[in-house]
Amino acid sequence: MSIPLDSGTAKKMSAFHCANQCTWCDGCGDYGIWTAVKRALSESDIPPHGVLLCYDVGCHGNTSDKILGYRFHGLHGRVIPFAAGAKLANPRLPVMAFGGDGASFSEGVGHLVHGIRSNYPITFVLHNNGNYGLTTGQASSLTQQGQPMNSSPNGIPEHTLNSMDFVFSLEPTFVARAWSGDIDMMTKVLKAAIGHRGFAFVDILQACPTYNHFATHSYLMEKCYDVNAEGHTPDDFSKARALALDTSKRIACGVLFQREDMPSFYERLEPRKDCKTTAVEEVQIVDTAEWEHEFM
Amino acid sequence: MRISLKVTGAQGQGVNSIGEMCAKGLKRAGYCVFGYKEYMSLIKGGHSSYQLDVASEAIESSETTVDMLVCFNHHGLERNALEVKSCGIILHQTPQWKYTKEQQKVLEDRGIRTVYLPSEDILKKLKAKPILGNVLVTSVVWALLGRKAEELKELVQEQFGHKGEKVVAMNFQCIEEGFAFLGEESGKWKVESGLRLPKSDPSWKDHLLITGSEAMGLGLIHAGCRLYCGYPMTPSSPLLSYIAGMQNKTGMIIKQAEDEITAAQMMSGAMHMGTRAATGTSGGGFDLMTETLSLDAIIENPSVFILAQRPGPATGLPTWTAQGDLLLAVGSSHGEFARCVISVADAQDCYDLMPEAFNIAEKYQTPVIVMTDKQIAEALFTQKPYDQKKAKLDRGNLVTDPKALKKLKSTDRYDPNAKDGISPRWLPGSLAATYCAQGDEHNGDGSVDESAKNAVEQIEKRMKKMKAMERETPEPVLTVMSNEKLAVSNEEPALDLLVVSWGSNKGVIMDALKVAGSGLRVGYLHYTYLWPMKTERLSKLMKKSKKTVLVECNYGGQLGMLIQMAGGPTIKEKILKYDGRPFFVDELQKLLIANS
């Protein structure tokens, strides 16, 4: 399958073009995701200076200097709280966070839990390649049980974490899935995620030709399909969950679930109701004399 | 002259509420009050105390002995009776209590009077709820102090007025009953008792009675901090509680995070976006935050971490005090980078150093650690209302002007040639060239660059900030006792005794020097700015001092170690305490005299 780099929005997409050369392996899924992110941003009319892209540590994190826009490349596993803190400070700026399956389901799994639970108004993109690529192919909690990997020659003893079941158990307000070879699909779900009111969880099944020999590009191409094209509407939680979980024959991609009636974390903050400014704009020396009376 | 009273009981019995009510009443009556709490890491039960030291002049310390002991249960009688001074009073509520023979003898020798208050019977008679025992006990204390019932009624009216007339009336009845109870006995004990309030000074009336945590909360608000993120951990929790309680007034974003890593990351994200944000924790939580601190250093993100110390290692003594984390603050986090460590000493600092911490963080675009401890966080200070005009907002090299923004190149963000290593900083969303706040070693625009040349350039860029900070950090402040008065000195006079310390010890050292008055020339050198460490002034002073002594609440003498690390002199004499308690004024005085 050829990756359609020219999507018809090249003029705007080029605003995100960065002179640094990509360093991913041949056939890495990051090329496709990188392209789809640029395309989704430009098709959402977001200029490079109008977004904060936050990257975790892992192969995907090497996108941080291969794309323009305000970017952040942080610590392993910790991208969600950083992105959330940034967003709360300036809710007007779209904030996207990117993390791998190692960062999101092992090191920083707590942040994913509370990110979804808090419904922070950010987009989270899971680069799900089923292993720790950058550290040369160790098993993640999403690697198939029994699969021999670097540091687990007999396969990991633990059972594989059912990531989608886990995510749905947290009552998310947005869940989408795509795979790294389908730029159109990724663009579609990323745009929907960017426009979502609360925390948007986007699972991108990503080819890792170097270390993941079980869910390869051709395997994903064969199994993934556009579930929305087949008539699935993202308003049914149970149906969406069932679709997300059943990957035995086919893998449902597209916007699986979305509800817009849930206020985001920021909208729930009582002190911020009817507040027209952002925390970024409010920095000044504040007179506290009136609040000192209670101590008199 | 000072007197002290101590309320003891199980947690949840009302120890704190009596302490606070008495403190407020005494401050309004024209006294400087210093409140000190001891309690255990549990919700109900245990043995806790609230001690108030009261004087007409400024005090910020407690004594080991008290003039009045108020006991809710027999534990106070067992454990604290012998802390009562000669001619003092013990007020208790345990029926048919008998001291041991040994206790009885000491109490008699000291002329201590024991008063039994049958509070349960009195409450029953009044058909009052048990909670009103607090007001009843307070009223007896109030009568014992020779104060008027009206003062107490005024406080009660203020505190419970909103609960309606009935509640207030019942409270008033308890107060009257408390005064009546003592009525028959008061004449007798007044003659016998040595308990006398010193002469009052009306200038205290308009002061605030505030804990270090509340003062720090106000300081954060004052500094323009708009987001606070924390995870509950004593002794940083009261700050989170206070600032969260204020959110509907201040409009601040408050987040109780799922862990300290989250708290640190959210603060960092918010700072990166361009607001002022802070996080606070204690040692264990700070350990979790340290990776984030290191990240803030490399992405040159201004960040403010509040480290409220308690004794470790591990859970240690959760509700007690210590200064054992100084070297942690200075040495935490991997990699070499510029940081600033400052410490508050009292409620004045808790306020003043908050804008200062943010100014330093933004000026040098690097982490600032503000140290406090359980003693400061929970002690009650009598504090002058804060000067609203002193603090200035300094956001450093932050570019916000649209024209200036347009001229920026991506590579300006981490320009290694920037003066003092402080390159322009601009915020996400600005209409300007974009950059990457890059946690990997990077070049000017935040692109990963692993070349040897770039590594040297960038490390040197960031460390230049340390040099600039060193240059601009104030020297420690010297206070000298002369003509029976303490005064700040900008000179380096010859001294008989030079005391060197930091943090919460300041108050007790000052109080100890005041009462010393032995004709010795004594000075106290206080370190607020701990890293970068300045040692020049200390060296000069030590050369002219007959004796220098280090005072710290830790085992190792960490300030002394830090001074040595920075190439400063060795302070051989040390007064160190590491039992979870702060220094008490009489205790420290004896130790200083023994060392002088």
Tell me what pLDDT residue B196 has.
Answer: 80
> What burial class does residue B162 get, using C-beta atoms within 10 Å of its C-beta: 0-12 exposed, 13-18 middle, 19+ buried?
exposed
Q: Residue B14: is its pLDDT beyond 90?
A: no
Show which of residues 214-233 on chain B sit within 8 Å of chain A, judged by CB atoms: 214, 218, 221-224, 226-227, 229
> Is B434's Cβ below 8 Å from some Cβ in A?
yes
Could you read off the pLDDT of B450-506 as tens digits, one per residue?
Answer: 999 999 999 999 999 999 999 999 999 999 987 778 999 999 999 999 999 999 999
Show which of residues 506-565 on chain B sit within 8 Å of chain A, judged by CB atoms: none
List chain B domain ranges: 2-205, 209-383, 402-472, 477-595
B581 min Cα distance to partner chain A (Å):
26
What's the distance, CA A50 to chain centroid?
18
CB contact under 8 A, B273 and A64: no
CATH of domain B2-205: 3.40.920.10
B463 min Cα distance to partner chain A (Å):
21
Cis bond upstream, residue B532 (ω within 30) = yes
The arithmetic mean of pLDDT across residues B224-239, rounded, is: 98
CB contact under 8 A, B218 and A291: yes
Confidence of residue B159 (pLDDT cuts 50, 70, 90): confident
- Bridge-based pairing of strands B529-531 and B340-343 is antiparallel
Confidence of residue B188 (pLDDT cuts 50, 70, 90): low
**For chain A, which ranges sit under pLDDT 70?**
1-11
Measure CB to CB from residue B292 to each of A64, A75, A270 and give the nearest one: A75
CB contact under 8 A, B275 and A70: no
Residue B190 phi/psi, 5-degree rounding, is -60, -35
Using a CB-CB cut-off of 8 Å, the residues of chain B touching A170 are none
In a domain, A127, yes or no: yes
ipTM: 0.96
The arithmetic mean of pLDDT across residues B55-79, rounded, is: 96
Joined tokens for residue B520: 């010795």
Give the total number of structural domains in chain A: 1
The arithmetic mean of pLDDT across residues B567-573, rounded, is: 98
In a domain, A244, yes or no: yes
Residue B164 amino acid letter: G
Q: Cα-Cα-Cα-Cα dihedral of A126, A127, A131, A132, to 10°? A: -100
pTM for the structure as a whole: 0.96
The arithmetic mean of pLDDT across residues B389-417, rounded, is: 98
Q: In degrees, to the nearest 5, what angle opens at C-alpha B27 toward C-alphas B22 and B31?
A: 115
Q: Which of B216, B250, B258, B266 to mutate to test the interface with A (most CBs of A within 10 A)?
A: B266
Topology annotation, domain B477-595: Rossmann fold (3.40.50)
CB contact under 8 A, B429 and A50: yes
Tell me what pLDDT residue A238 has.
Answer: 98
Tell me what pLDDT residue B192 has.
Answer: 56
In a domain, A14, yes or no: no
Cα dihedral B440, B444, B447, B448 sign = negative
B228 min Cα distance to partner chain A (Å):
10
> Is B210's Cβ below 8 Å from some Cβ in A?
yes
Asked if the domains at B2-205 and B209-383 fall in one CATH topology, the answer is no
Please say whether the beta carbons of B441 and B408 come within 8 A: no
Domain of A98, in residue numbers: 24-295
Using a CB-CB cut-off of 8 Å, the residues of chain A touching B271 are 89
Q: Cα-Cα-Cα-Cα dihedral of B284, B290, B293, B294, to 10°? A: 170
Tell me what pLDDT residue A2 has.
Answer: 42
Measure CB to CB from residue A295 to each of B210, B262, B295 and give the nearest one: B210
Cβ contacts of B363 within 8 Å, gap of 6 or more: B394, B396, B397, B422
Could you read off the pLDDT of B437-463 as tens digits, one per residue?
Answer: 999 999 999 999 999 999 999 999 999
Tell me what pLDDT residue A8 has.
Answer: 43
Measure CB to CB from residue A272 to each of B251, B383, B392 and give the nearest one: B251
What's A211's domain CATH number? 3.40.50.970
Q: Residue B323: is its pLDDT beyond 60?
A: yes
Please say whether the beta carbons of B185 and B115 come within 8 A: yes
Could you read off the pLDDT of B573-594 as tens digits, one per residue?
Answer: 999 999 999 999 999 999 998 9
From residue B304, how far is each of B52, B228, B280, B354 by CA, in Å?
Answer: 33, 10, 8, 9
CB contact under 8 A, B253 and A286: no
> Is B258's Cβ below 8 Å from some Cβ in A?
yes
Q: What is the mean pLDDT of chain B?
A: 95
Q: DSSP per residue over A95-156, as a string?
A: EEEEEEHHIIIIITHHHHHHHHHHT-S-EEEEEE-SEETTTTSEE-TTSPTT--BBTBTT--
B477 min Cα distance to partner chain A (Å):
26
Tell me what pLDDT residue B110 has.
Answer: 95
Could you read off the pLDDT of B520-555 as tens digits, one per residue?
Answer: 899 999 999 999 999 999 999 999 999 999 999 999
In a domain, A11, yes or no: no
Using a CB-CB cut-off of 8 Å, the residues of chain B touching A110 are 258-259, 262
Tell me what pLDDT residue B190 has.
Answer: 60
Using a CB-CB cut-off of 8 Å, the residues of chain B touching A62 are 448
Measure CB to CB from residue B270 to each of A57, A72, A88 and give the nearest one: A88
The arithmetic mean of pLDDT across residues B18-33, rounded, is: 96
Topology annotation, domain B209-383: Rossmann fold (3.40.50)
Confidence of residue B43 (pLDDT cuts 50, 70, 90): confident
Residue B255 amino acid letter: K
Tell me what pLDDT residue A7 has.
Answer: 44
Strand stretches in B144-207, DSSP E: none
